[in-house]
């Protein structure tokens, strides 16, 4: 299972525009409420803690239906100081069931977007929550704004049975991972993969293949995992985004994913799609 996927939530897009359906969901005695304090997950007994719904919460966002009952989310605390993706937060998520981690990711991204988008991007007037929480509408010009998802390509680049891994200066000692970067306006996934690998490592690629994707709620990326083939293994590292890049053979990747002490690098954690991508590359290479 790829991290932050597999939520058991029925999103109910048809009901979001229906005020009667929203009112009925609010009043449903089985409805439950997720409260994110500073965007952190509330946890009790190793599970995401859901409270009975408070129908007077006019600021609740309607996530959808979970286990046959409406589920809402509200924020608490200081929305301008959200919890960052810290080792402590990731340790909390590591102890939750995978479907609840995914549910938390949806709630966090949605709540965080509302917290940072209170004004219309077209005319600057204050906007209001609409569609049960899945849009904002300008109070002046009536423009609609929707929660954003920012596409990021992340790619395992291979050459002669080895994979290209890079290292950013801020990462923990020894950590290397697949290259990644935001898709720019007017680019296809294949073009973004080729551009990022060229910019960061000076390598031309061909044969970009899609593998899998992952929502990443810090704050709202969609990681698009690909495998591509390098035309030439010569590296020219940009020195800003990457401080180092290396080619690693299959034995080295296997050792790193297994957490072996003498592995050539420290692998990305299991919840990151880079980890899944390296496993997919091993599978591809093994045929």
Question: Measured from the CB atom, is 39 or 120 closer to Zn ion?
Answer: 120
Rounded least distance, CB 149 to Zn ion, Å: 22
Rounded least distance, CB 122 to Zn ion, Å: 5
Rounded least distance, CB 148 to Zn ion, Å: 17
Dihedral over alpha carbons 216, 218, 221, 222 (to 10 degrees):
0
Rounded least distance, CB 22 to Zn ion, Å: 23
Enumerate residues 6+ apart whose C-beta is below 8 A from 214: 2, 3, 4, 5, 222, 223, 225, 272, 273, 276
Question: Measured from the CB atom, is 128 or 232 closer to Zn ion?
Answer: 128
Question: Measured from the CB atom, is 23 or 141 closer to Zn ion?
Answer: 141
Strands 127-130, 205-216: pairing is: unpaired
**What does the DSSP 8-state code read for residue 4?**
T
Instruction: Classify each residue of 175-211 as buried b or exposed e, where b means 16 or more C-beta atoms within 10 Å of its C-beta.
Output: bbbbbbbebeeebebbebbbbbbebbbebebeebeeb
Residues that bind Zn ion (CB under 5 A): 120, 122-123, 125, 138, 140-141, 143
Question: Measured from the CB atom, is 123 or 251 closer to Zn ion?
Answer: 123
Rounded least distance, CB 93 to Zn ion, Å: 36
Dihedral over alpha carbons 265, 260, 84, 115 (to 10 degrees):
90
């Amino acid at each position: 299972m790829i991290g932050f996927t597999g939520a058991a939530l029925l999103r109910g897009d048809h009901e979001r525009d229906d005020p009667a359906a929203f009112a009925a969901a609010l009043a449903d005695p089985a409805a439950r409420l997720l409260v994110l304090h500073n965007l952190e997950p509330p946890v009790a007994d190793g599970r995401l803690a859901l409270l009975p719904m408070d129908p007077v919460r006019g600021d609740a966002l309607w996530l959808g239906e979970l286990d046959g009952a409406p589920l809402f989310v509200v924020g608490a605390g200081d929305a301008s100081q959200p919890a960052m993706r810290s080792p402590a937060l990731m340790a909390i998520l590591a102890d939750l069931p995978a479907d609840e981690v995914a549910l938390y990711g949806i709630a966090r991204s949605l709540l965080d977007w509302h917290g940072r988008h209170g004004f219309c991007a077209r005319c600057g007037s204050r906007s209001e929550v609409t569609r049960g929480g899945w849009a904002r509408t300008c109070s002046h010009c009536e423009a609609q704004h929707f929660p954003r998802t920012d596409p990021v390509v992340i790619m395992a680049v291979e050459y002669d049975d080895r994979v290209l891994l890079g290292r950013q200066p801020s990462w923990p000692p020894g950590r290397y991972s697949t290259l990644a970067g935001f898709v720019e306006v007017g680019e296809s996934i294949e073009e973004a993969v080729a551009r990022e690998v060229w910019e960061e490592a000076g390598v031309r690629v061909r044969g970009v293949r899609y593998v899998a994707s992952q929502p990443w709620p810090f704050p709202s990326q969609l990681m698009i995992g690909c495998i591509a083939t390098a035309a030439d293994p010569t590296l020219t590292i940009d020195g800003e985004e990457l401080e180092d890049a290396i080619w690693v053979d299959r034995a080295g990747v296997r050792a790193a994913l297994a957490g072996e002490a003498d592995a050539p690098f420290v692998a990305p954690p299991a919840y990151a799609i880079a980890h899944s991508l390296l496993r997919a590359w091993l599978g591809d290479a093994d045929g």
